[in-house]
Amino acid sequence: MEGRIVNSAAERQRVREGVVFLVLFALTIPTANWLIGHAGTACVEPHGPCVIPVAPGVLAPSGVTMVGVALVLRDLVQRRLGTGLSALAILCGAAISALVAPPALVVASAVAFLLSEFADLAVYTPLARRRLVAAVIASSCTGLVVDSIVFLWLAFGSLEFLLGQVVGKAWMVLLSIPFVIWLRRRDARLGIRPA
């Protein structure tokens, strides 16, 4: 009986955290789209992105920070809630983006997110049960390259900021690794199992 209560509490914790990760993941899409048009160290005119430095002499559209976080959050949503809700979150995020960004940016963002998340999913899923940190790093690297190429081409018709996109997203993935390690250890201690 006691084991059942612990598992039930762990299950509730898993779902609660999954919902938080899901909401954060869905909000990264409109936040990234808003940043691209409104915040950066410089804005490329006309209708170009606002950019930020991600390395010496390397610029990227400012939404890059949110996309790097999104790649890791997608993995955490899958770990907590399963694979199906990630795609739903992308569609919700795209719908919210329509309120804050031009249609071309919304479409480019949604298509890039969907394709990169499927690539991320294909890499993450087989690795996640045995090696969570390796799964997050490998899948995020795959997803960030796919996302960068698709987004830049659809949104701006150019791969001019490709290096910046890849570097900026990689920084955000690397910054998230200590959290993923902590989460994996805490999950083991609390008996929280992946969905």
- CA 142 from centre of chain: 12
Using CA atoms, how far apart are residues 61 and 185, in angstroms rounded to an integer?
34
Task: Give the model confidence (pLDDT) of 125-140 as tens digits.
Answer: 888 777 888 888 888 8
Contacts of 38 (CB under 8 A, 6+ apart): 50
Q: Are 143 and 70 in contact (CB under 8 A)?
A: no
Which is nearest to 139 in space by CA: 116, 162, 111? 116
* pTM of structure: 0.79
What value does the CA radius of gyration of the chain take, rounded to a whole number of Å?
17
Using CA atoms, how far apart are residues 111 and 15, in angstroms rounded to an integer?
28
Contacts of 49 (CB under 8 A, 6+ apart): 36, 37, 40, 43, 61, 62, 63, 155, 156, 161
Q: Are 174 and 134 in contact (CB under 8 A)?
A: no
Beta 58-61 vs 50-55: how paired, if at all? antiparallel
Query: Average pLDDT by consecutive 10-residue portion of the chain (195 residues)?
Result: 57 89 86 86 79 92 86 84 77 74 81 82 81 85 89 88 91 89 88 82
pLDDT at 84: 77
